[in-house]
Structure 1
Amino acid sequence: MLAWYTAVVYAVAGAGVLADAGWWPTAALVAASSGLVLKAVWFDPWLTVGVLLDVGVITAVACSWPASVY
């Protein structure tokens, strides 16, 4: 269930980016955070790339990067 939630929230965040909505960073943070929780609970070495991508999303939103999207 958590995997579906994470995927849906990532899709909503992507739609927010495409629609130039102001709320997409919040959705991206929620999706990345739930993705990290998911990977922490059911960790497998194959998920390391997913962890790096989630951390990258959190870092990008925290640093307001890329500025052209905001």
Structure 2
Amino acid sequence: ALVYVVAGAGVLAGSGWWPTAALVAAAGGLALKAIWFDPWLSVGVLLDVGVIVAVACTWPASVY
């Protein structure tokens, strides 16, 4: 969660390193959810995958 906060601060600051922080946060979240999986975490998996897809597709373009 802390790395997501750092990525969000990077977006607000207009820096160029925030996509890397967002990918690290999403990958870390997916790894933790894979290790300690619970059906209640399914929405979190979808959100992490959504972050990875959004960064890979450079969406939304207004923050790049």
Task: Give the drift of 1:57.
Answer: 0.1
1:51 match: 45
Task: Give the drift of 1:8.
Answer: 1.1
Q: Name the Cα RMSD after superposition.
A: 0.4
State the distance in 2 between where 1:40 and 1:51 align: 9
1:24 match: 18
Poorly superposed stretches of 4+, deviation over 3 Å: none
- TM-score for both structures, normalised by structure 1: 0.90
Structure 1: which 5+ runs fail to align? 1-6
* Identity fraction in percent: 83
Task: Give the drift of 1:46.
Answer: 0.3
Structure 2: which 5+ runs fail to align? none
Aligned length: 64
Task: Give the drift of 1:25.
Answer: 0.1
- TM-score for both structures, normalised by structure 2: 0.98
